[in-house]
Amino acid sequence: MSATRFYHLTVVGEGPVNGTWVRVVLAARQAVSPDSALSFLRHQARRIADGLDPAPGAGWIPPGILVPVRAPDPDVPTALRSLVPRPPGAESGTGSAPRGRRIRPQRR
């Protein structure tokens, strides 16, 4: 009998709330392959980026509420969106996310 390998994935948001540092689990899942694990992480990166920085034409936002802002450094939604595209020609994500790697986009 062979052991099944699972990839345990947790997407966590951390930051200050009313002077206290909080940690919130935004999503969690088990995957059976590196490809399904990376697909889940890409989907979560896009979902969180779109929630933090929705498109100006998003139907649930009243007109005129969102305005473009230019900043010298990339913001968190931009950093998350950079994780979404699959590299050209990549058939498998094996080896591209070392065990326990934490991705922490931070403001400068």
In a domain, 97, yes or no: no
In a domain, 105, yes or no: no
Closest CA to 97 of 9, 23, 3, 30: 9
In a domain, 92, yes or no: no
Number of domains in the chain: 1
In a domain, 45, yes or no: yes
Tokens 């088990």 belong to residue: 30
In a domain, 104, yes or no: no
In a domain, 91, yes or no: no
Do 83 and 45 meet the contact criterion of CB atoms below 8 Å apart?
A: yes
In a domain, 76, yes or no: yes
Residue-level pLDDT at 67:
74
Determine which of 7-11, 25-29, 47-51, 89-93 has the lowest per-residue pLDDT on average.
89-93
Query: Is 72 exposed, middle or buried (CB count within 10 Å of its CB: 0-12, 13-18, 19+)?
Result: exposed
pLDDT digits over 14-41, tens only?
Answer: 888 889 999 999 999 999 988 888 889 8
Rg (CA), the chain: 17
What would the two tokens of residue 27 be?
């999503």
The parent domain of residue 37 ranges over 7-55+70-81
Residue-level pLDDT at 1:
58
